Structure 1
Amino acid sequence: MQRVMIIGQPGSGKSTLARALGERTGLPVVHIDTIHWQPGWVERSHDEKTQLCHEVEAGERWIFEGGHSATWNNRLARADMLIWIDRSVPLRFWRVLLRTIMNHGRSRPALPHDCPERLSNLPAFFRFMWRTKTSARKKMKQVVATAPSDCRVVCLRSDRDAEAFLAGMGVQPSQAGQPQRSARGKCTPN
């Protein structure tokens, strides 16, 4: 395992899992929010985000978590593991609220410097989350379905799944995360 792609909707736990997996494996972790945003909540252009994603994807070792789906096919072609964190809508909203409150006035670890969490940003972000809840999940389901046969695919639907996956990182890949996968090693999303 040298290149790990982690996808999931906001509040699913991508950044947390990426950091924990990075600590266990020594692989460098890249958060899409550090590509999407510049200090002061300045959004990069689409082309600049794409270029930065391609630079990361070209590397030999990485854990790359997050969106910019315009580059997912390229990222997936390079990944040897795809992790889809598929969590419920209410839980994700709760987690986003909680992380905003807990980090109010300062930047989260997955964000660039000078991007402090603000309660005033929540209504617009919640609208985005609500508006994309179905379409984003459908897109992620499609990415999972099109993963190359040599890419190990893992679906995590609970904290227990994530903990078991991380605990299983010391065992053979065929044994880790088995309850979440079908016999073909693909996610079986609902």
Structure 2
Amino acid sequence: MQRVLVMGSSGSGKSTFARRLSDITGIPTVSIDALFWKPGWVESGKEEFQSRMVEAAKQPRWIMDGNYMTSGAGELRRQLSDTVIWFDLPRSACMFGIFKRIAASYGKVRPEMADGCPEKIDLEFFRYVWTYRQQQRPKLVAYFQGLRPDQTLVCFTDREQADDYLQDLALKRKRTSIH
């Protein structure tokens, strides 16, 4: 595992998972949101974002947290990844996740966001998460169809599976370092 995509709906736990995976593996994280957004929630231009993503994707090791399948070097990232972690959680879990996140960090900039982009209440964002399974999930499934046989796809349907995965990985790493 050297280049890992962590994908799924907002509020599913992607960013937290990516940070924890980085802590265990030592692989640096790349927040796609931090590359896309500019201070004040201003979107990067298409070419600028593409350039930032290509530069990040060409690094030898990364854990990339976020989707942006059709923009931001989506094809290149899929091609270069060796592992894809998919958070395929129910709508209720994702909505709970974003409400919990807003309650905990309202007005503050989360670690995976660009400077100058504090957590806020955004009805359009709520609608995006609410309709994610109908609107975005099919695109993600189609994106995964382009994976090669030598790439690993890991799917979590609840957060406990993700926690178990990280615990198992940490134990394996610990055993390996002892021997």
TM-score (norm 1): 0.84
Greater relative CO, 1 or 2 (CA 8 Å, sep 6+): 2
Q: What are the equivalent positions in structure 2 for 1:19-30 lying under 5 Å apart?
A: 19-30=19-30
Distance 1:27 1:18 in 2: 10
Tell me which amino acid in the other structure corresponds to 2:4: V
Distance 1:28 1:72 in 2: 19
- Residues 90-118 of structure 1: CA distance to partner in whole angstroms, max 9, x if unpaired? 11111111111211111111112221112
Distance 1:142 1:19 in 2: 26
Q: Is the 8 A contact 1:50 1:68 kept in 2?
A: no
Residue 108 (structure 1) aligns with: 110
SS of aligned partner of 2:101: helix
Q: Is the 8 A contact 1:84 1:140 kept in 2?
A: no
SS of aligned partner of 2:78: helix
* Aligned partner (choices 86, 89, 96) of residue 87 of structure 1: 89
Residue 154 (structure 1) aligns with: 154
Alignment CA distance shift 1:162-1:132 (3 Å): closer
What is the count of residue pairs matched by the alignment? 170
Residue 98 (structure 1) aligns with: 100
Residue 139 (structure 2) aligns with: 139
Distance 2:129 2:156 in 1: 19
Q: What are the equivalent positions in structure 2 for 1:168-187 lying under 5 Å apart?
A: 168-169=168-169, 170-171=171-172
Post-superposition offset of 1:11: 0.7
Distance 2:35 2:133 in 1: 22
* Unmatched segments (≥5 aa) in structure 2: 174-179
Distance 1:75 1:131 in 2: 25
* Unmatched segments (≥5 aa) in structure 1: 173-190
Alignment CA distance shift 1:163-1:132 (3 Å): closer
Residue 43 (structure 1) aligns with: 43
- Residues 157-189 of structure 1: CA distance to partner in whole angstroms, max 9, x if unpaired? 1122101111221439xxxxxxxxxxxxxxxxx
Distance 2:97 2:20 in 1: 18
Distance 1:92 1:131 in 2: 11
Residue 62 (structure 1) aligns with: 62
Tell me which amino acid in the other structure corresponds to 1:8: G
Tell me which amino acid in the other structure corresponds to 2:124: A
Distance 2:149 2:93 in 1: 31
Distance 1:46 1:68 in 2: 12
TM-score (norm 2): 0.89
Q: What are the equivalent positions in structure 2 for 1:117-128 lying under 5 Å apart?
A: 117-119=119-121, 121=122, 123-128=123-128
Residue 5 (structure 1) aligns with: 5
Q: Is the 8 A contact 2:8 2:88 kept in 1?
A: yes
